[in-house]
Structure 1
């Protein structure tokens, strides 16, 4: 699986599956689906503890953005440019997209709601 953040805010998942295990072929089926950026942000905020291998704390950045703190101001606290911070945040969203997608599917299936802090 690979995930990519699109300019419109959706996160695209490319799933490669081997479909012909019996005949030993190597054909791969590609399937696409989208995860909304807002869903990924909700997931990041809802998780009590996240470990991200990048240089930012995604939960902190998203919460500050939701509280109307400017991207430039947040970038300064991380000693980054605004573009670097935005790129790192998009990488974090891509990193968490598969988990957010499953979380969202379970949330929809089980009928529970998410309420931000």
Structure 2
């Protein structure tokens, strides 16, 4: 029984990771080419929070209870994008430092490139 729950949980996670638009976008941001888009992606949190606010006011004025799920989903996605901005900046700095160290290791001590045949 526990194994079945474990497998079901893992398959659900992999399905959501591959197919949900925000997860796909965050995976693209985590690549080397996408790290520079982490801070601008934080701006996507605004529309999500606006949608959550609109759903909350609809619920307060007698709207259906299932809108609470939309509020949760919007707030969750907004938090993912808000966190990804600083994380991508840290990852970008770390990658640039590694690239600079690798370039420095490949350059000879006198600063001139060696010709190898």
Asked if these proteins are the same fold (TM beyond 0.5), I'd say: no
TM-score (norm 2): 0.28
Larger of the two Rg values belongs to structure: 2
- Structure number with the higher helix fraction is 2
Higher strand share: 1
TM-score using structure 1 length: 0.28
